[in-house]
Amino acid sequence: MELSALQKARYGYKPKLPANVSQGITSIALKQGAPTESIADQADLKALFKYTYGKPLVTFEKGTSESNCRTLQVGVILSGGQAPGGHNVIAGLYDGLKKGNPGSKLYGFLGGPSGLIDNKSVELTDAVIDAYRNTGGFDIIGSGRTKIETPEQFAASLETAKKLGLNAVVIIGGDDSNTNAALLAEYFLAQGSAVQVIGCPKTIDGDLKNEHIEASFGFDTAVKTYSELIGNIERDANSAKKYWHFIKLMGRAASHIALECALQTQPNICLISEEVEAKKLSLAQVVDQICDSVIKRAANKENFGVVLIPEGLVEFIPEMEALIGELNDVMAIHEQDFVKYGDFLGQLNFLSPKLSAPSAQLLMTLPPNIAKELLMDRDPHGNVQVSRIETEKLLIDMVEKRLTELKQERAYKGAFSPLGHFFGYEGRCAFPSNFDADYCYSLGFSAFVLIAAGLTGYISSVKNLPSPPDAWIAGGVPLTMMMNMEQRHGSKKPVIKKALVELEGAPFKAFAAMRDTWAVKTSFYYPGAIQYYGPPEVCDQTTKTLQLEHGK
C-alpha cells in the first residue's frame, strides 16, 4: 500500500516526554503519596475491591530503580471506539519496555477485550510499531466493545495471561473499559495471580477526566477536526447567506465536544445538554431558543446561521427522557405483541394507551421520522439507540413548524433554509495532533513505568497539560479512586464516574458570557486545519477547555 506524503512525514515525528520520565531508564524512581479514597460509596467499594482499594497516588522522580530493567511480557488491548493517538500509546509502551530490556515482549490482543478472552494475539515488533507511529486509527490490532463481566470471561482472561506468561495487561479505553480494568486487576489478585493491570484514559467525548486525569486522549484531535469542518461551514454560510446549518456532534453522555467546538468557532447557537437538564427545558423551549436567534438575525437581513447540537441532547430533555424510559419499559414487557405490528401507525396505536398521557401526547406530536426512530431496533439491553436519533432533523422540523406559525402571526418575515449534518466518525481516526501524539506516547511510557514498579489497578496519568511536554508530570492514579456506585441494568455496579460539563466551570462560563452576542451578531471564527509543523503557538496549542480550566 502506497503511503501518503503526510503519513511518511509523520513517521519522522519524535514525540516528546515529560521530564520526570525522560532521564535514563534506571534513573526513574517511584514516589508514593498517601492512601486514597473513592469519590463516593467508600464502604461499598472497599468491600468490593479488597485487594486494590485505597492505593496511593504515585508520581515519578529522579532516583535509582533496577526494576525498570526487568524482562517483561505485556499484553495490550484497545477497547471501545477509536480515538486519535491510540497507536502512540502502544508505541510509548513498547519503547519503554525495550529501553528497559530488549528481551521484553509486547503482545497485542486482536479485536479488543475478546482477544484476551479468546487468546487471540500477535507479538508487536519493531517493524509493526514503526508502521503505525503518529498515525490515527486503531487498525494496528483492532478494537472491540466486549465487556469482561462473567465468571467464565474472567477465568478465560487469566488463563490467556498464564499461557502467554504475561506480567501485565494494559487496557486502553474509556470509563467503562477502565472500570473493567479495575475489576480485572482485583480478580487476578483474588486468584493469587501476580499479573498486573494498568489502564490508559481514552475517549474523544472528553468525559473521562478529573483532577488527576486532565484530559482523555483523542479529544484534542477530534475537536480540532470538527472545528475545522464547522469553521468551513460557517464561512460558506457567511458567503451564501441563505442557509441555517444544524450540526450534531458526537458526545452522548457529555457535551464537552460541543462546548469546545463552540469556543473554537463561535456559532450562533450551541446547545449544552447538561444545561438543558439543569434548567428542565422542554423540547418546545429549546426550539424557541433557536427560533429567537433566527428571528433576530432575519431582522438584520441575515437569514443564515450555525447551530451545534450534542449527540445525546434528547436524553437530557426531561420530557424526552421520560418518553424514552417509558418506551424502553413498555416495549420490553410487550415485546411479543409489539412485533406483530409491522406498520408505524399500528405500533403507535398499540403503544400510546400504555404510556402516560404526557408521553403519549409527545410521541404523537413528534415528526413521524423521529417517532419511527424511537421505535426502531433496540440495543442489546432493550433500550432506544439514542445515537441513531437524528436530533438535527428533529430540531429542523420543529423550528420550521414554529417559524411557519410565527409567519402566520406576522411575527416573523424572514427566510429559513435549513441543512442537517452529523460530525462523528470524521474525528475518531484522524492523524493525531502534536498534542495527542505527545500525550499518548507519554501515557504509554508511563504505563510501562507503572508495570516495572510492580503496580496494578492503576491508570496512567500525565498532568500539567497546558504547559510544554517537558513540564508535564507523569504518574499513576488508583482506578478505585475515580469510582462510585451507580444503578446499571437493575442493580448497583461499581463504575468510574463520567465527567459532565460543569455549569460552574470556567469553559462553560466563558461560553455563556458570549453566546447572546453570537446568537445575533455574525461572530464566526475559522480555526482551520490541524497544523503539524510551525511555531508552537500554531502547532502545539491545547484546547480552549484545558486552557480555561487551568486559568490560562
Sheet of 121-124: strand order equals 28-35, 56-62, 473-478, 458-463, 196-201, 168-173, 73-78, 105-109, 121-124
Give the per-residue pLDDT at 503. Answer: 98
User: Using 50, 70 and 90 to split pLDDT, how confident is the model at 343?
Assistant: confident
Neighbouring-strand partners of residue 463: 473
Q: Residue 344: its pLDDT value, please?
A: 86
CATH 3.40.50.450, the chain: domain bounds: 20-218+432-488
* Grid cell in block for residue 48: 468490593
545 forms beta bridges with none
The CATH class for the domain spanning 223-311+390-426+493-552 reads alpha beta
Query: Residues 176, 205, 207, 438: which is the catalytic one?
Result: 205
Active site (annotated) includes residue 236: no
Q: Contact, 62 vs 27, CB < 8 A? A: yes
- DSSP string over 371-417: HHHHTS-B-TTS-B-GGGS-HHHHHHHHHHHHHHHHHHTTS------
Q: Half-sphere exposure of residue 544, counting CA atoms within 13 Å on the CB side?
A: 22
E strands in 86-151: 105-109, 121-124
Does residue 230 contact residue 308 with C-beta atoms inside 8 Å? Answer: yes
Q: What is the CATH number that goes with domain 20-218+432-488?
A: 3.40.50.450
Q: Is 139 helix (H, G, I), strand (E, B) or coil?
A: coil
Report whether CATH 1.10.10.480 matches the domain 315-385: yes
* All three cell numbers of 248: 450534531
Domain with CATH 3.40.50.460 in the chain: 223-311+390-426+493-552
Residue 490 has pLDDT above 80, yes or no: no
Confidence of residue 382 (pLDDT cuts 50, 70, 90): low
This prediction has a pTM of 0.95
Report whether pLDDT(377) > 70.
no
Residue 34's pLDDT is 92
Q: Considering the chain, what is the average pLDDT of its residues? A: 95
Alpha-carbon 2 to chain mean position: 31
Of 198, 213, 304, which Cα lies nearest the Cα of 524? 304
**pLDDT for res 79:** 97
User: Are the C-beta atoms of 323 and 374 separated by less than 8 Å?
Assistant: yes
- Residues 475-490: what's their mean pLDDT? 92
C-alpha grid cell for residue 489? 441494568
Cβ within 8 Å of residue 396, ≥6 positions away? 246, 418, 420
Residues of the chain with CATH 1.10.10.480: 315-385
